[in-house]
């Protein structure tokens, strides 16, 4: 979990009293001016080179802040040590902050871009808090008890249900093999979440698009949980997706993917070229031969085109990508398995959100292979620089490529390819025209977010945000005085947020049209005042 311990010297009682006097007693919805003397101006545009200037009254003894989570209109940040969540909204001339009391030890917040409801996991308290900020000025909260020890939380696509569980990952010990999840009805009124018994070692949770069912992946298989029907403690038996000889052992990956729309689960063998399929509404495990040398194995890739019930597999050394029509394979139809030769071996497969396009590449190689899911046509884009990872825009129109970097620094007079290899860079690819924009960076881009108009590249090594216009492919850079941590988009206000490391909490909002940046320092201060 991406959290940052931020420590500052505690202020004396007189300093805190001064803070209260400055902010006044009505801090539950404090309208905080960006030009306030309380938070010194250290470059509201993010371009000041004087370095960070601390507030005159350091009142926060210790913060443990979660990664921000954006809803339709707000950004939420949890403070684990104080049991609070800051709800932050950008208005035309200021930032509006509201501290909200939640449970003990909040560590994770999940939201939907379609609503202003947030669900907070309070790890130390063994519960979750539902925050409903749908009505401006009238925030409601409700705390729901969950299983003790849960550390993962997910939200259904419609935002109506949340599932909390203790996560299993490769290397997990037997003590982490919880065989239950807590199901929270976000819109309900229950004080205790029903417990759903599933398989041992919960690795993942998937939902269908209509939020009718959740699918819980474990070391025992896949459990289907009808969300609306699970109003009390219940058992959702896991359906094994492998033959017994292929079942993962404790400490190994679960090796299962779920096609929630098609209600099909798939697993793969690490020792053969076989794939295993199971209809989650019933039926036996069906073995599918992928062809000699085309098995996923321990190091291959298996991706899901969920809406069509299609799987795409890449073997570590094969130059072909295998297409599997899972529904046809379950029915025993001919032609369910086919291969698309791309002329090169790949190590990574990434599918666009709508499933229309599959991107394939070998880590460190400059050639990006794009496969149309309907026609299986392949086109190749030479990016001239090694690929580290890629991110599709949600609308599927563009993708961002973060590049690898060769050893050494670029030197004057070096060949062009050597210079290119030794710089930090990212590329934006227009997928309709294959236009590319190479953007030189000061360090690696660790996070990418897309808005309808811009690609946002976060560069923590240089405390920078690079904004690339998706139409013009022009780029501009905003520099911050403090190290940056996370970037995201708040769709309802046309802005992006950039969280920064600061002993009192700092966040910047970037106008996605103009690039204008506004910062707020000390947003967590309000949580100290009741």
- The residues facing 257 across adjacent strands are 266
Give the Cα-Cα-Cα angle 519, 524, 528 (nearest 5 degrees). Answer: 145
How do residues 60-114 score in pLDDT, each as one tens digit? 444 688 899 999 999 999 999 889 999 998 775 677 888 999 999 999 999 999 9
Could you tell me the pLDDT band of residue 186, with boundaries at 50, 70 and 90?
A: very high
Q: What are phi and psi of 418, to 5 degrees?
A: -70, -40
3-state helix/strand/coil string of 238-274: CECCCCHHHCCCCCCCCCEEEECCCCEEEEECCCCCE
Q: Nearest CA to 457 among 471, 472, 438?
A: 438
3-state helix/strand/coil string of 412-450: CCCCHHHHHHCCEEEEEEECCCCCEEEEEECCCCCEEEE
Task: Give the pLDDT score at 161.
Answer: 97
Could you tell me the pLDDT band of residue 168, with boundaries at 50, 70 and 90?
A: confident
Measure the CA–CA gap between 397 and 430, rounded to whole angstroms: 6
pTM: 0.83
b/e map of 173-184 (b: 16 or more CB within 10 Å)?
eeebbbbbbbbb
Percent of the residues in the chain that have a pLDDT greater than 90, as a whole number:
61
Element (H or E) spanning 459, and its range? strand 454-459
- Both tokens of 42, joined, read 């250290």
Measure the CA–CA gap between 144 and 127, rounded to whole angstroms: 5
Task: Give the pLDDT score at 63.
Answer: 65
Residues whose CB is less than 8 angstroms from the CB of residue 244 and which lie 6 or more positions away in sequence, other chains included: none
Could you tell me the pLDDT band of residue 503, with boundaries at 50, 70 and 90?
A: confident
- Tell me the C-alpha to C-alpha distance, in Å, between residue 309 and each of 193, 218, 264, 330, 404: 32, 21, 7, 11, 33
Mean pLDDT value of segment 506-515? 87
CA-CA-CA-CA dihedral for 442, 443, 445, 446, to nearest 10 = -150
Task: Give the pLDDT score at 2.
Answer: 41
Task: Give the pLDDT score at 175.
Answer: 59
Measure the CA–CA gap between 483 and 465, rounded to whole angstroms: 11
Task: Give the pLDDT score at 104.
Answer: 96
Residue entry with tokens 């899901």? 304
Task: Give the pLDDT score at 273.
Answer: 86
Supply the mean pLDDT for the chain.
84
């Amino acid at each position: 979990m991406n959290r940052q311990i931020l420590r500052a010297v505690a202020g004396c009682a007189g300093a805190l009293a001064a803070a209260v006097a400055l902010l006044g007693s009505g801090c539950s919805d404090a309208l905080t001016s960006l030009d306030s003397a309380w938070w010194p101006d250290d470059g509201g545009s993010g371009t000041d080179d004087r370095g960070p200037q601390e507030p005159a009254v350091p009142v926060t003894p210790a913060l443990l802040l979660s990664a921000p989570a954006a809803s339709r209109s707000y950004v939420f940040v949890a403070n684990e040590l104080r049991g609070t969540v800051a709800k932050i909204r950008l208005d035309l001339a200021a930032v509006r902050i509201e501290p909200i009391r939640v449970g003990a030890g909040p560590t994770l917040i999940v939201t939907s871009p379609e609503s202003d409801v947030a669900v907070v996991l309070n790890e130390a308290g063994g519960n979750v808090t539902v925050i409903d900020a749908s009505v401006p000025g009238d925030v409601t909260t409700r705390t729901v008890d969950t299983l003790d020890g849960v550390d993962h939380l997910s939200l259904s696509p419609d935002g109506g249900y949340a599932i909390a569980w203790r996560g299993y990952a490769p290397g997990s010990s037997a003590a982490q093999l919880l065989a239950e999840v807590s199901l929270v009805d976000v819109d309900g009124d229950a004080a205790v979440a029903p417990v759903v018994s599933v398989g041992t070692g919960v690795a993942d949770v998937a939902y269908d698009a209509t939020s009718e069912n959740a699918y819980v992946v474990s070391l025992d298989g896949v459990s289907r949980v009808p969300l609306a029907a699970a109003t009390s403690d219940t058992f959702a038996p896991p359906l094994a997706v492998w033959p017994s000889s292929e079942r993962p052992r404790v400490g190994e990956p679960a090796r299962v993917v779920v096609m929630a729309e098609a209600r099909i689960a798939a697993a793969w063998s690490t020792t053969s070229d076989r794939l295993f399929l199971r209809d989650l509404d019933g039926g036996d495990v069906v073995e599918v031969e992928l062809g000699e040398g085309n098995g996923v194995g321990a190091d291959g890739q298996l991706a899901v085109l969920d809406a069509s019930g299609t799987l795409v597999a890449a073997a570590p050394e094969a130059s072909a990508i295998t297409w599997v029509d899972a529904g046809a394979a379950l029915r025993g139809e001919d032609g369910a398995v086919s291969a698309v030769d791309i002329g090169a071996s790949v190590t990574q497969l990434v599918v666009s959100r709508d499933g229309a396009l599959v991107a394939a590449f070998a880590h460190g190689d400059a050639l990006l292979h794009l496969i149309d899911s309907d026609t299986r046509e392949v086109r190749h884009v030479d990016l001239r620089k090694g690929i580290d990872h890629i991110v599709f825009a949600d609308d599927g129109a563009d993708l961002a490529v973060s590049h690898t970097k060769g050893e050494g620094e670029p030197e004057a007079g070096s060949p062009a390819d050597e210079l290119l290899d030794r710089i930090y860079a990212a590329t934006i690819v227009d997928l309709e025209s294959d236009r590319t924009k190479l953007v030189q960076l000061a360090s690696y881009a660790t996070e990418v977010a897309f808005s309808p108009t811009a690609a946002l590249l976060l560069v923590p090594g240089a405390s920078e945000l690079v904004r690339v216009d998706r139409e013009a492919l022009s780029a501009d850079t905003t520099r911050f005085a403090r190290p940056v941590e996370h970037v995201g988009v708040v769709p309802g206000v046309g802005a992006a947020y950039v969280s920064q490391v600061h002993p009192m909490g700092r966040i910047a909002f970037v106008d996605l049209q103009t690039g204008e940046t506004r910062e707020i320092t000390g947003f967590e201060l309000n949580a100290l005042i009741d």
